[in-house]
Amino acid sequence: MADTTKNNPTGPRHIAFIMDGNGRWAKERGLPREHGHRFGVKAFRAVLDHCATLDIDAVTFYAFSTENWKRPKREVNAILRLMDSYLAECEKKIDDYAFRIVFLGDKAPFEGARRTRMERLEAHTRTRRRILNIALNYGGRDELVHACNLLLASGKNTVTAADIEGALYTKDSPPLDLIVRTGGDLRISNFLLWQAAYAELYFTDILWPDFGPAEVDAAIAEFHQRKRRFGGV
Ligand code: IPE
Ligand code: IPE
Ligand code: MG
């Protein structure tokens, strides 16, 4: 990956967002949870557009976890429909898009037109330098199990850290610098378990539909105040 760090010497080069709080946002307004997800997509667009203007090499969004299938069918279907319309919109505007799109997670449950569209978006944007990772049916544990199975299938019986990194869904992304979680909960919820090893963590009580460019800038400003030691002194 080409080095753009001269324009952004202190990073972050890779930011990941845990987009949490859509359901509570809707509840506060007396609306069904599905409406929260609809407004969540609006916030996602605004944050992504803002990230495109910043000197960041990769941005990752946690959209649907391997555990989110436990939710009521009605809510899961609403999320999948929102995802379909977002992917259709992406496909239409694909040539204006600043990013290479990569889906993190197991695509197995996605079939037919949805699966084809995901693969087309990935293939069509493959040569772009900056990466947009969309974590869909993603779990950090699942990613590590998947990586182990890939390595076993390749015939390895001992592995190095570099082998594991090369078998993760994020293999083409730069190291993760910053995780931002909205919605007030202080946990990772099975997100980027390997990649988070030395990422800075930023938590805010703001619910995802209320999160926007100004809050991204606040998280980056806070990142610049942190002293990263990576185990050194
Ligand atoms: C995050 O918002 C979106 C997804 C997990 C798909 P939630 O739906 O988890 O909202 P809360 O946390 O219940 O408020
Ligand atoms: C994390 O949020 C998953 C996504 C944002 C997609 P959850 O709402 O699923 O996390 P928990 O259940 O509060 O840990
Ligand atoms: Mg939640």
Comparing C-alpha atoms, which of 84, 89, 97, 104 is closest to residue 124?
97
Pocket test for ligand 2, best of 17, 66, 68, 71 (most atoms within 8 A of CB): 68
Comparing C-alpha atoms, which of 98, 123, 102 is closest to residue 169?
102
Task: Give residue 64 CA to ligand 2 midpoint distance, Å.
Answer: 8
Q: Is 106 in the active site?
A: no
Ligand 2: which residue has its CA nearest to atom 9? Answer: 68
**Cis amide linkage into residue 32, ω under 30° from 0:** no
**pLDDT-flagged residues of the chain (< 70):** 1-7
Task: Give residue 20 CA to ligand 1 midpoint distance, Å.
Answer: 5
Q: What are the structure tokens assigned to 43, written together?
A: 């916030």
Contact 178, 16 (CB under 8 A): yes
DSSP category for residue 25: H
Contact 143, 195 (CB under 8 A): no
Task: Give residue 203 CA to ligand 2 midpoint distance, Å.
Answer: 14
Say if domain 14-224 classifies as CATH 3.40.1180.10. yes
Q: Is 91 helix (H, G, I), strand (E, B) or coil?
A: helix
* Cα torsion angle, 106, 109, 111, 114, sign: negative
Q: What are the structure tokens assigned to 120, written together?
A: 């087309």
Contact 138, 65 (CB under 8 A): yes
Contact 59, 135 (CB under 8 A): no
Residues with CB under 6 A from ligand 1: 19-24, 64, 68, 79, 183
| 138-161 tens-digit pLDDT | 999 999 999 999 999 999 999 999
Q: Is 137 in the active site?
A: no
* 189 Cβ below 6 A of ligand 2: yes
Q: Is 49 helix (H, G, I), strand (E, B) or coil?
A: helix
Ligand 2: which residue has its CA nearest to atom 3? Answer: 65
Q: Report which bound ligand comes closest to the CA of 207.
A: 1
Query: Where exactly are the structural domains of the chain?
Result: 14-224
